Amino acid sequence: MLEDLKDAGLCAFFALLIFAPFLGVHLGDGTSGNLTLGPTPERLALAVAATFIARMAMLAWHRLRSKRTAKPSNGAAAARAAKYIGPVLLAVAIIFPLLPGMPNAYIDLGVLILTYVMLGWGLNIVVGLAGLLDLGYVAFYAVGAYSFALLASNFGLGFWECLPLAGILAAFWGVCLGFPVLRLRGDYLAIVTLAFGEIIRLVITNWVSLTGGPNGLLGMPAPSLFGLKFSMAGGPGTFAGFFGVDPMPWQKTAYLFYVILALALLTNWVTLRLRKQPLGRAWEALREDEIACRSLGINVRNTKLTAFAIGAMFGGFAGCFFAARQSFISPDSFTFIESATVLAIVVLGGAGSQLGVVLAACVMIGIPELLQSLQIYRMLIFGLALVTIMVVRPRGFISIRRPSVSLGKAKMIGAELRAEGKG
């Protein structure tokens, strides 16, 4: 107990040093344009005390846990249950927007989460399967969104015509990015992908005549249902008019929900199919050992490029959907923080696990949105959650791997055997 007190005391001392300059004083504006400094000892005391208590609680918790025999868990139970969790989640997703009295805002949140699930699944191909660290995934999201916006405004195309084009364009950019970085490994790859994402954003911001610059682009059409539009005005040619119901905002939101659900499921289906086939297996082999792949006659370059291209394509689809949903896009939506969020979803999910991505997207996107009322603390909590989850579960929620093929009953493979890729 005394040891705990000492330990927590030391932590509190460090907290004092850390918090003193920021919580102990507050910069303010003086009368003559100069800065003033006001003391705020109460919030400093609060933070230091909180650190002390938190540390005491943590030590007590460790003590309690060490008494029980620790059982190693790597989400094996979750993966076994995945057989049931997957369909159950899907069923919940399908009826979710139709539940009576479901607030429009919740359906909208569902749309947002599903967008990130789709992005996570797309990036999972690159990071989780092929083991290539991509810090600039948002670039493809942006390419998809701007492709749609520009095609719609310049050629009057609708969402469904633009969707495949946006995917193809994004895949094309994926290959363009892939070529120069083929030889790069690890963190060199990370910084170049990050740089690529930033370049795309800078070009979008500065090429005002094409992209509208920081003001963005407006007025993209929302997806229509077999030509029926969703309009609050009602009337012929609209969803409400055709079915003879009152136009309601939730009808459009629910439709968007099903569109993104279908797109996300398409991503999932393609990924799951590919995983059980030579291409997907080659991606995973690439993650495990690139040199061995080469010795077996696998064309490493093409295999990497397909991973980039297919991952980028799904990012492009998601971007196209995003633009249609918002009917407004600007460079602010495509900052590095988006790439980091999607990467965090993939890693928290367990890098490679499809179900893990869903769980992580719900946690990382759903919870901060529900904390909207805390406004300024929202991102602070988001950051703290990232650190905490990683420290508690470095391998993510579901880190085991199901073999793509087996002679007998498939045995799950633990995370400790899996390589993480050097690319």
Partner 1 sequence: MAYALQQLINGLTLGMIYGLIAIGYTMVYGIIGMINFAHGDVFMIGAFVGIIVLTALSTVTSVPVALAAAFVISAFICAVYGFSIERVAYRPLRGSFRLAPLISAIGMSIVLENYVQVSQGALERAIPNLLPGGIVLLKQGDFVVQLTWMQLAIIIVTLVLLAAFTYLVTKTPLGRAMRAVEQDAKMAALLGVNTNRTISLTFVIGSALAAFAGVMFLLYYGVIDFYIGFNAGIKAFTAAVLGGIGSLPGAVLGGLLIGLIEAFWSGYATVAYKDAAVYSILAIVLMFMPSGLLGRHEIEKV
Partner 2 sequence: MTILSVSNLTMRFGGLTAVNNVSFAAERGHITAVIGPNGAGKTTLFNCITGFYKPTEGSIAMSPSLGKIVRLEKLAGHQVASKGKVARTFQNIRLFGGMTALENLLIAQHNKLQSATGFGVLGVLGLGGYRKAEKQAIELAKHWLDQTGLMARADDPAGALPYGDQRRLEIARAMCTEPALLCLDEPAAGLNPRESAGLNQLLLKIRDEGCSLLLIEHDMGVVMKISDHIIVLDHGKKIADGSPTEIRNDPAVIAAYLGEGDEDDPDAPVAESVA
Nearest-approach distance from CB 307 to partner 2, in angstroms: 11
- 3-state SS, one letter per residue, for 15-70: HHHHHHHHHCEEEEECCCCCEEEEECHHHHHHHHHHHHHHHHHHHHHHHHHHHCCC
Tokens at 228, concatenated: 């029926």
Q: Does 403 bind partner 2 (CB under 8 A)?
A: yes
Q: Does 72 bind partner 2 (CB under 8 A)?
A: no
CA separation for the pair 232, 285 (Å, rounded): 52
Which is nearer to partner 2, 163 or 323 (by Cβ)?
Answer: 163
What angle (nearest 5°) sits at the alpha carbon of residue 289, between those of residues 387 and 283?
A: 80
Residues found near partner 1 in the complex (CB under 8 A): 14, 17-18, 21-23, 25-27, 35-37, 43, 127, 133, 180-181, 183-188, 190-192, 194-196, 198-199, 202-203, 205-206, 291, 336-337, 340, 343-344, 347-348, 351, 376-377, 379-380, 382-387, 390-391, 394-396, 415, 420
Q: Taking CB under 8 A as the rule, which mask of x and - marks residues 265-304 in contact with partner 2?
A: -----x--xx--xxx-xx-xx--xx-xxxxxxxxxx----
Q: Which amino acid is at 309?
A: A
Distance between first and last Cα of the chain = 47
* Binding at 63: pick from partner 2, partner 1, none (beta carbon under 5-8 Å per type): none
CA separation for the pair 350, 390 (Å, rounded): 10
Nearest-approach distance from CB 189 to partner 1, in angstroms: 9
Phi, psi dihedrals of residue 191, rounded to the nearest 5° = -70, -35
Which is nearer to partner 1, 176 or 262 (by Cβ)?
Answer: 176
* Binding at 23: pick from partner 1, partner 2, none (beta carbon under 5-8 Å per type): partner 1
49, 117, 418, 419 from 401: Cα distances, Å? 43, 19, 8, 11
Nearest-approach distance from CB 87 to partner 1, in angstroms: 29
Residue 66: CB atoms within 10 A of its CB come to 9
Residue 6: CB atoms within 10 A of its CB come to 10
Which is nearer to partner 1, 313 or 348 (by Cβ)?
Answer: 348
Q: Does 406 bind partner 2 (CB under 8 A)?
A: yes
Q: Does 53 bind partner 2 (CB under 8 A)?
A: no
Nearest-approach distance from CB 271 to partner 2, in angstroms: 10
User: With 0-12 CB in 10 A as exposed, 13-18 as middle and 19+ as buried, what is 302?
Assistant: middle
Which is nearer to partner 1, 91 or 292 (by Cβ)?
Answer: 292
- Which residues touch 67 (CB under 8 Å, ≥6 apart)? none
* Binding at 409: pick from partner 1, partner 2, none (beta carbon under 5-8 Å per type): partner 2
User: With 0-12 CB in 10 A as exposed, 13-18 as middle and 19+ as buried, what is 132?
Assistant: buried
Q: Does 409 bind partner 2 (CB under 8 A)?
A: yes
* Binding at 384: pick from partner 2, partner 1, none (beta carbon under 5-8 Å per type): partner 1
Nearest-approach distance from CB 174 to partner 2, in angstroms: 15
Q: Does 372 bind partner 2 (CB under 8 A)?
A: no
Kindly list the residues in this chain that would bind partner 2 in the complex (CB under 8 A). Answer: 270, 273-274, 277-279, 281-282, 284-285, 288-289, 291-300, 306, 401, 403-411, 413-414, 417-419
